[in-house]
Structure 1
Amino acid sequence: MRRNQSGITLLGFILILAVVGIGVYVGMKVIPMYSEFYAVKKSLDGLALEPGINNAPPDRIKSLFFRRLYVNYSDNVKPENVSIERADGGWHMTVSYEVRRPVIANLDVIGNFVAEKDLTHGGPAD
């Protein structure tokens, strides 16, 4: 009685390893983009809790926002990516930016990120 071999061939193993390797490589490019976006959202949330932010001038708001981003090592958000508009009871802040990372040869991973927050927290300013 013959026993049939079961399992994966060397070629199959190499192909699976290549697919997993490409997935890990792309993940290494994409994960920092999303962690930076998380830092932008956390900076906006913290800024919204700042006392007197609803009456602060836009330049002061941008300064506070970029100070928070500096702590989080965010490099892709520039002042031209931030817009602040007057809203009911305060300000409406929008951060819209694009991150482009090269992957292989002329293929890029592109992320378009938009975060919005209403800045309406009153109270005494510092």
Structure 2
Amino acid sequence: MKRTQRGITLLGFIIVLAVVGFFAYVGMKLFPMYSEYYSVKAALKGLASEPGTASSDPARIQDLFFRRLYISYSENVKPQNVKIRRADNGWLMDVQYEVRVPLVFNLDVVGKFHATQALVRGGNGV
């Protein structure tokens, strides 16, 4: 009776390990970008649920927003990325920014993020 060996060779294992390692590396580079985006969305929702925000002036709203972002260590959102404009029953806050993270050599990963939140009287944002 002939016995056949089964399994992966050392070369095959190294190739699989390299592919898995590369995707883990890319995931580690992308995770902070998306974590920051979810912090921005959480800050916007928190602002919308805070009573009296819709009655505040845009400078005060922007200050409250950046205080919330400071707590979550968000550093890619700048004041020029935040636009606040008058809406029907309050304000409409629009945050649009771009994050560029170096990946390997001269290749970068670019993430473009956009979040909008209505700050209406009564504290229930859309």
TM range (shorter): over 0.9
Distance 2:4 2:122 in 1: 76
Q: Deviations over 1:55-98 (max 9, x none)?
A: 21110110000011001110000000000010010000000000
> CA RMSD, aligned part only?
1.0
Q: How does 1:1-126 map to 2 (within 5 A)?
A: 1-122=1-122
Distance 1:51 1:20 in 2: 47
- AA of the residue aligned to 1:62: Q
Indicate the SS of the match to 1:4.
coil
Distance 2:68 2:8 in 1: 51
Contact (CA 8 Å) 1:55, 1:122: kept in 2 or not? Answer: no
- AA of the residue aligned to 1:65: F
Distance 2:47 2:100 in 1: 27
Identity of aligned residues (%): 63
- AA of the residue aligned to 1:78: K
* Cα shift at 1:4: 1.1
Q: Deviations over 1:91-124 (max 9, x none)?
A: 000000001101110111111100100000337x
TM-score by length of 2: 0.94
Indicate the SS of the match to 1:14.
helix
Distance 1:115 1:78 in 2: 14
Distance 1:24 1:52 in 2: 44
Runs of at least 5 residues in structure 1 that lack an aligned partner in the other structure: none
Distance 1:75 1:24 in 2: 23
Q: How many residues align?
A: 123
